[in-house]
Amino acid sequence: MPQLETMTGRGLALLVASASFVIVAVSAFAIPGFTQFQDLNAIFNVSLWQSNLLWTDNERDVGKRLGWPEESRTATLASYRLYAKEDARVLGARPYSLALYADKGRVTQISMVFANSGDRCNPKQFERDTQAIEASLKPVLGEPTQTFFGQTRKIRYKVRRWNWKGHAILLETPENYVGVRVVPAELADREGRAEVIAYQQLRDTLSQRVKRRANGDVIVTEIPMVNQGPKGYCAPATWERYLRYIGIQADMYVLALAGQTKVGGGTSANLMFENVEALARRNGRRFEQLNLTLTVSNLAKYIDKGFPLMWGIFFAPEMDKGISARSKERLTITDWKAWPEKLKSARNVSKVGPKMLHMPDSPGGEVNNGHIRMIVGYNAKTGEVAISDSWGNHFEERWATVEEAQAMTQHETAFWNVRW
């Protein structure tokens, strides 16, 4: 019996020790300080991390590891975006847009959008996605804290926040989308407000982005591209491009909320401007709505300083096809003296007005032809205007005649710009 008791005592000691190890191991896995990056990669179902700190990784390496296509690259900014396939799953839910933003070679944030109004999701999917994401994160990172993210009254919303090794993982559930954002903890502490670039420093930087070509083109460069994808987010996507161009972090899904963008597109331009202006003020900038007659000399006042113009137009499909075809031909031109002669037919255009366009993929099959794009350059010798749409890199720079630009302009106050 004594021998049996001794053996039993040792067995119990081993059992207690083993049980303690299991408890410690389980607890370590559930406490954010002990969770390793491999655990989060498994939970997210994407290889987001290769160490315990995403912010020190080279953004090209991260983009390659994720397999997300490069969306845009300027001298300092880069972004990658994947419009995921239907069978993709991240955090137990179906993602629609997966984006990586970077500055000076380093990742600045990750944006993952799930159920959203722009992609015409079933309303029930919003709650299902929220529950699936929480169910994925809570066992590993514990209960989230409730806080706010966003910089203005309209572009500010409650989020559920998990902290992990210098990262803030934010679950966003405003009325028009479900999203997960991964940002540096200090940015989340500031509710998303970036450090303000000094006025003169930004002005000098923008003026250096103006390029003058031998053929007479004057063009603003270094404007990041955003591909609005298969939804009518032209205004939110284009405003995101402009805001990031002047150093203000922005996201088209959040801007769509501010502009009350409808399913399939359609944004209140005035409401969007009101909220963008509030966001700009919060970051030490101002925007203004211009009363402008579209001429080369008037455009030069802004383009020459590095300021592209936000521009409200009425979209005309046939005119746009002609602009695309000529822009492609323009790349091959060597005799620039003869080029204006080829533009004569494009100068005889009629005023474009508001109308409904047949769009088979849109709810109801029709949408209005209101559109937002940028004016990013001009050529006084040829009488052309450089335009830019948020449809991907192929639409970053195209050229229309001044007459075409005048014909499609909604009205003389359909222009917006930074105010200095």
Mean pLDDT (the chain) is: 86
| Backbone dihedral region for residue 277 (phi beyond 0: left; psi -120 to 50: alpha; all else: beta) | alpha
- pLDDT score, position 365: 55
- Whether the pLDDT of residue 18 is over 50: the answer is no
pLDDT class of 22 with cuts at 50, 70, 90 = very low
- In single-letter form, the type of residue at position 221 comes to T
192 vs 410: CA distance, rounded Å: 34
End-to-end CA gap in the chain? 92
pLDDT class of 19 with cuts at 50, 70, 90 = very low
- pLDDT score, position 246: 92
pLDDT class of 376 with cuts at 50, 70, 90 = very high
- pLDDT score, position 284: 78
| Residue ranges per structural domain of the chain | 37-189, 199-419
Lowest mean pLDDT among 25-39, 196-210, 242-256, 307-321: 25-39
158 vs 169: CA distance, rounded Å: 13
Q: Phi and psi dihedrals of 231, rounded to 5?
A: -155, 160
HEC secondary structure over the chain: CHHHHHHHHHHHHHHHHHHHHHHHHHHHHHCCCCCCHHHHHHHHCCCCCCCCCHHHCEHHHHHHHHCCCEEEECCCEEEEEEECCCCCCECCECCCEEEEEEECCEEEEEEEEEEECCCCCCHHHHHHHHHHHHHHHHHHHCCCEEEEEECCCCCEEEEEEEEECCEEEEEECCCCEEEEEEEEHHHHHCCCCCCCCCHHHHHHHHHCCEEECCCCEEEECCCCCCCCCCCCCHHHHHHHHHHHHCCCCCCHHHHHHHCCCCCCCCCCHHHHHHHHHHHHHHCCCEEEEECCCCCHHHHHHHHCCCCCEEEEEECCHHHHHHHHHHHHHHCCCCCCCCHHHHCHHHHCCCCCCCCEEECCCCHHHEEECEEEEEEEEEECCCCEEEEECCCCHHHCCEEEEHHHHHHHECCCCCEEEEEC
Cβ-contact 68, 81 below 8 angstroms: yes
pLDDT for 75-124, tens place per residue?
999 999 999 999 999 999 999 999 999 999 999 999 999 999 888 889 89
- pLDDT score, position 198: 76
- Whether the pLDDT of residue 274 is over 70: the answer is yes
Select the CATH number that applies to the domain covering 199-419 from these four: 3.90.70.10, 3.40.50.1370, 3.40.50.300, 3.90.78.10. 3.90.70.10
At CA 82, angle to CA 244 and CA 168, rounded to 5? Answer: 60
- pLDDT score, position 25: 34
pLDDT for 154-180, tens place per residue?
567 789 999 999 999 999 998 889 999
pLDDT class of 6 with cuts at 50, 70, 90 = very low
pLDDT for 191-248, tens place per residue?
777 666 777 888 899 999 999 999 999 999 999 999 998 777 888 999 999 999 998 8
Lowest mean pLDDT among 158-167, 247-256, 390-399: 247-256
Distances (CA, A) of 411 to 281, 293, 383: 26, 9, 20
- pLDDT score, position 258: 66
Long-range contacts of 331-340 (CB under 8 A, 24+ apart): 333/215, 336/215, 336/216, 336/381, 336/382, 339/382, 340/381, 340/382, 340/383
- pLDDT score, position 9: 38
- pLDDT score, position 8: 34
Distances (CA, A) of 310 to 219, 265, 273, 304: 15, 18, 10, 15
Percent of the chain with pLDDT over 70: 85
pLDDT class of 260 with cuts at 50, 70, 90 = low
316 vs 404: CA distance, rounded Å: 10
368 vs 282: CA distance, rounded Å: 33
Name the packing angle between helices 123-141 and 37-44 (round to 10°). 160
- pLDDT score, position 1: 34
pLDDT for 322-369, tens place per residue?
999 999 999 999 999 999 999 999 999 999 999 988 655 554 557 789
pTM check: above 0.75: yes
